[in-house]
Amino acid sequence: MNFIEIAERRYSCRKYDPTREIEQEKIDSIIKAARLAPSACNGQPYHITVCKGEIAKKIEKAIAGMGMNEFVVNAPVVIMISEGEYVPLSAQGVALFDNDYRSIDIGILSAYITAEAAVQGLETCILGWFECDKISEIYGADTRTRLAITLGYPVHEYEPRPKRRKAIDDFVTIIE
């Protein structure tokens, strides 16, 4: 698959097959892609925790417990992304320019994770609607949890549908 094919195919999965385990080599490939994601000053100001088994179920239950995201309970894996420390040069940039590089870097990281998951034939959903402190406590994060990415095989084969997006002219300006 080329990148446009990945982008057209990828969707936020809402129905995972709880009977299908994810092969470790596929998880390893996703983590390898995550490691290659660009970040400000190559600082990688985040930490990834791959949660499986009972710990994944506890996290999923907590995420679904607010009445949102109830579909997550069947995902066999949840990738948690928590904040890490800035490298000194990035920290200086934050102080000088008031730009949250860490959030930008976590967004890029998430794109790499979900794209590689699609290449591996897995589906994902990026989640940010949860109680950060409660979730962090469940899996032992000592910094703020920013995102959860559910990962698994869908219940049924997904046929990509046309995506509804803004027209290019509505969000792109070209200046010469």
Residue range 26-76, pLDDT digits in tens? 999 999 999 999 999 999 999 999 999 999 999 999 999 877 888 888 999
At residue 72, the pLDDT reads 87
Query: If 0-12 CB within 10 Å is exposed, 13-18 middle and 19+ buried, where does residue 41 land?
Result: middle
Cα separation, 143 vs 57, in Å, equals 21
- Tokens coding 26: 């596929």
For the chain, how are helix, strand and coil distributed in percent, rounded to 5? 45, 15, 40
Mean pLDDT over residues 79-85, rounded? 95
Mean pLDDT over residues 121-130, rounded? 94
- Tokens coding 139: 């899996």
- Listed range (19-33, 74-88, 153-167) with the worst mean pLDDT: 153-167
Q: How many helices (H) and strands (E) does the chain have?
A: 7, 4
At residue 27, the pLDDT reads 98
The whole-angstrom distance between residue 18's C-alpha and the CA centroid of its chain comes to: 19
The confidence band for 94, taking pLDDT boundaries of 50, 70 and 90, is: confident
**Rounded to two decimals, what is the model's pTM?**
0.93
Asked if residues 37 and 109 have their Cβ atoms less than 8 Å apart, the reply is yes
User: SS3 for 82?
Assistant: strand
The confidence band for 1, taking pLDDT boundaries of 50, 70 and 90, is: confident
